[in-house]
Structure 1
Amino acid sequence: MQIVREVAQELGFEPHFTLIGMRDPASPTEEASDLQVFDVTSGSLINPRGLWACIRAQDCVIDIGAGDSFAEIYGAKRFTYLCTSKLMTVMADKPLLLAPQTIGPFTSPLYKGLARIALNRAVSVLARDRQSLSAAQSICPGGCNGLATDVAFALPYAPWSGAARARPAIGINVSGLLYRDAQAGVNRFGLDYDYVELTQSLIRKMLDDKGAEVHLIAHVRSPETPEDDDSTVCDEIARQYPDTIKAPHFAGPSEAKSYMSGLDLVVGARMHACIGAFSAGVPVIPIAYSRKFDGLFGTLGYGRLVRAQGMGTDEALGYILGSFDARAEIKQEIADAASRVDSFLSVYRAELRKLFGMIGG
């Protein structure tokens, strides 16, 4: 929204936003005078006065697909919503811009067919990594496809200004999704590492061998979907390891980024926690569970991550511990890669200018 505001104001007008999404009561929502919120429910998808009426009231729709949800890996329910909102937009003859996001994978003919309609009718499609761009081009080779990067790199924050710490401060962003799956013996993402064992071993090694402060950072707070909630898992781990520090519940993403800016290393299994650390200049090791991690960071020329396939638990642990010792080197690698972020986001800004030119004259 901040990027959109900046481009709109540059062109001489003030935007008004309707934030359309499936809201989680535990997730913070930005409050602003130029913002109203439309909560999508199952009923609103079929009620003519619901989502359809909301979309028809807009001048354009900028659809970010929850960043990574325009794909089939999260199941039919989420894909149905993501596709329905796009198809309603084109049916209402409203300009649709797909903001930088992961696109695909799509393997099912049904998913591919529905995705093709949305991609073909959008005025612009921006992938946030080369793999997604390739997926979009393979489904819709004649579409207006471009390469940008994740908008969260531009998230404002207040750099940490506290006193110097006596010990290195390591943030571990624990994914409730991966942790609960591993506890249940489920491996829906085909991981070569055991996420619970990796997390537990990493905490012990950081506390005992490296003498570090270990900060447990929850990214997803979702009491209504406990199988995806990071916070309750962090609570359990904090009770198991009382020497760890449980990060507070943040009022919003900027506060989380500000907190992480004071850490010496972040190991994260949620991509936007990793983006927050990276864009604050903090050495970060993403623990990937899908191609979106490698695609996003690889597009920026940053290859420090534990991939979903190719590393067992012991190898992944050794890699992270080695990264702890190489923090200064990684910090420089991040600075080099961060210089590419602005050029990729400029692609998004250019497409927004075109969009606003279409609707505003």
Structure 2
Amino acid sequence: MRKYKKYVDISGFDINQENRGNAALSYGAISFLMERGLLRDDQDLIVFQYYRNPFKAKHLRLYKEDVDINNVKRKYYIVPVFGIEKWLLMRFGILLPFTRYGKMMRQVQYEAADYGGDGFSDIYGDRLFISRLYQTIPFMAAKVPLVILPQTIGPFTKNYNKEIAIKILKYADKVFVRDNKFENELKLLNIKYERTKDLSAYMKPQKWDINIKNNAVGINISGLAYFNCFKGLENQFDMYPILIMRIIELFRLKGCNVYLIPHSYRWSKPSKDNDDLLACRDVYNKINNNKNVFLIEKDLTSPQVKYVISQMSYFIGTRMHANFAAIYTNVPVFGLAYSYKFKGAFDSNGLDGEAQTVMINNITNDKIDQIIEKINNHYTRSIR
């Protein structure tokens, strides 16, 4: 890596996202880069946003925010860039030396690319795959070094997308992966890489003023599954609300204190098809007797949510990164999965994905008893 410069670009950086799992990737990226000696305390963060219309005020205004992570204060800049400058760079390799873009681009040490944890793939469509590269491609044209942060690489359904990915991987100075999904290809391509944990593992829990009772069982209820109308996944979770009620009943009968924990939610103006807090609140209000059931109803940061989960004796999550919060704080965990990736993620972290996860897509009522039994069996083994 070259000598230290003023800025580091962490693509997708946003610690204020409603999805605390995605926000955890931003927190974790800072901790990971600091731990690896790749980020100094005196370096600030930067992201470029490209636009076509030069007459909108928001396209002229430099956004600046103070962020404090791991007791280190930094500036975070979102820099608007007129599209013609990007075009000159991409088409002719010209970086204008007298513009804000040209001056700041020359002060970027490297891009640390996080494509959403599992977004370095085209399984969600060509458009989303290419859109995630909006920082990487101009940086490559400007010959700015690249670090691929720990994430899943692939799969790729189309050869031309895979060729783009391979070009980026070959260009990168460092490649980190969180699982073995693309290891064989990396070896065949002679691309050096290092396997490590998911970025959220590096985010430290932040203690706050909450008193967790003994024998606490945490349940993360996904608004996506509960409301069952999220575009692309709608009508796959008809039995999910019934399953959640049965799980709560299971642990109340055991004398446990049950905590309903949202992980992806917007404190103001929540999304009605995807909000965990709305789902948790609805479940809580439908329980006839709320004794020993507690709703975590507070606008928490991602590290604060991780702290709550870390205090559980046992945890059941539907959001993958809610499960990661349990896994990386050594809390026994069971995953209610709506993607095959759950099992692989559990296996990759030394757990038993077969015994500790179950698919909840399109389950029928008679399947619920089997799921409850599977959860109970794992819980019984975990508390011995």
Settle same-fold status: TM greater than 0.5.
yes
2:260 matched to 1:210? no
Q: Structure 1: how far apart are the matches of 2:203 and 2:76?
A: 20
Aligned to 1:8: 37
Alpha-carbon distance between aligned partners in 2 of 1:20 and 1:224, rounded to the nearest angstrom: 27
Task: Spell out, residue by residue over 1:82-106, the C-alpha distance to the aligned partner (whole angstroms, 9 max, x if none).
Answer: 1232222212211111111122222
Is the Cα–Cα contact under 8 Å of residues 159 and 262 in structure 1 kept in the other structure? no
Structure 1 residues 112 and 164, CA, compared in 2 at 3 Å: closer, same or farther?
Answer: closer
Aligned to 1:263: 312
Could you tell me whether the CA contact under 8 Å between 1:271 and 1:293 is conserved in 2? yes
Secondary structure at the counterpart of residue 323 of structure 1:
helix
Quote the Cα distance in structure 2 between the aligned partners of 1:275 and 1:21: 30
**Structure 1 pair 270/307, CA: closer, same or farther in 2 (3 Å)?**
same
Distance 1:169 1:224, change over 3 A: closer
2:243 equivalent in structure 1: 198
The yes-or-no answer on 1:254 pairing with 2:303 is yes
| SS in structure 2 at match of 1:287 | strand
Residue 76 of structure 2 corresponds to: 36
Q: Which is bigger in relative contact order (C-alpha 8 A, separation at least 6)?
A: 1
Q: Percent identity?
A: 23
| Residue 153 (structure 1) aligned with residue 198 (structure 2) | no
| Structure in which a larger fraction of residues adopt strand | 2
TM-score by length of 1: 0.72
The answer as to 2:372 corresponding to 1:317 is yes
Q: 1:144 aligns with which of 187, 192, 198?
A: 192
Deviation at 1:74, TM superposition (A): 3.8
Pair member with larger Rg: 2
Corresponding pairs, count: 312
Query: TM-score scaled to structure 2, two decimals?
Result: 0.68
Q: By how many angstroms is 1:280 displaced?
A: 2.0
What displacement does 1:6 show?
Answer: 3.8
Gaps of 5+ in 1: 23-27, 330-361
Q: Is the 8 A contact 1:70 1:79 kept in 2?
A: yes
In the TM superposition, 1:89-238 aligns within 5 A as: 89-134=139-184, 137=186, 141-157=189-205, 165=213, 168-181=215-228, 187=233, 194-207=239-252, 209-222=253-266, 223=269, 225-238=271-284
- The structure-2 alpha-carbon separation of the partners of 1:187 and 1:6, relative to structure 1 and needing over 3 Å to count, comes to closer
Instruction: Tell me the residue number matched to 1:60.
Output: 110
| Partners of 2:240 and 2:82 in 1: CA distance | 37
Answer yes or no: is the 8 Å Cα contact 2:226–2:240 preserved in 1: yes
Alpha-carbon distance in structure 2 between the residues aligned to 1:204 and 1:29? 45
Q: Indicate conservation of the 8 Å contact 1:289/1:308, yes or no.
A: yes
CA distance 1:8–1:176, change in 2 (3 Å) = same
Task: Find the aligned partners of 1:60 and 1:144 in 2 and give their Cα distance.
Answer: 18
User: C-alpha root-mean-square deviation of aligned residues, in Å?
Assistant: 3.7
Q: 1:196 to 1:71 in 2, by over 3 A?
A: farther
Greater fraction of residues in helix: 1
Q: Which amino acid aligns with 2:318?
A: A
Q: Which one of the candidate residues 136, 139, 156 is aligned to 1:86?
A: 136
